[in-house]
């Protein structure tokens, strides 16, 4: 395959790492916003989001966690109580999660694709 910049093709495994870390940041910010609410249900949501973020951060069970995050983000687009970001940010995070389901964890992950 022809490439405009063939010198940087060695960075390809780091693309999934960048996607994984960006989804981690989105989930951590959402978890922090939910844990600060006084109700019980958002705190349970925060626990699930924080667990998913930590798993994505270290790269453990990346594809199942990304699938969970995609379902979570899809649901948060329609339920206002779950949403702290604009719908456009959630849609972008949803696309990132789905791409992680397809591509796998990338570099520096505990679970490498088979």
Q: What is the pTM of this model?
A: 0.88
> What helix, strand, coil percent values describe the chain, rounded to 5?
75, 0, 25
Q: How distant, in Å, are the alpha carbons of 4, 26, 57 from that of 86?
A: 35, 12, 23
59: DSSP letter:
T
Domain ranges of the chain: 15-103
Q: How far is residue 27's CA from residue 46's CA, in Å, rounded to a whole number?
A: 9
58: Cα separation from own chain's centroid: 12
pLDDT of residue 2: 80
Average pLDDT of each block of 10 consecutive residues along the chain (114 residues)? 83 91 96 90 91 95 96 92 89 97 89 62
How many Å apart are CA 12 and CA 61, to the nearest integer?
Answer: 21
């Amino acid at each position: 395959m022809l490439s405009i910049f063939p010198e940087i093709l060695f960075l390809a495994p780091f693309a999934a790492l960048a996607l994984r870390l960006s989804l981690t940041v989105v989930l951590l910010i959402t978890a922090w916003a939910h844990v600060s609410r006084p109700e019980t249900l958002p705190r349970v949501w925060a626990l699930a989001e924080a667990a998913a973020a930590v798993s994505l951060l270290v790269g453990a069970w990346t594809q199942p966690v990304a699938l969970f995050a995609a379902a979570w983000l899809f649901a948060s687009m329609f339920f206002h109580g779950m949403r702290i970001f604009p719908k456009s940010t959630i849609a972008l995070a949803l696309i990132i999660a789905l791409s992680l389901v397809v591509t796998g964890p990338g570099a520096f992950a505990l679970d490498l694709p088979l």
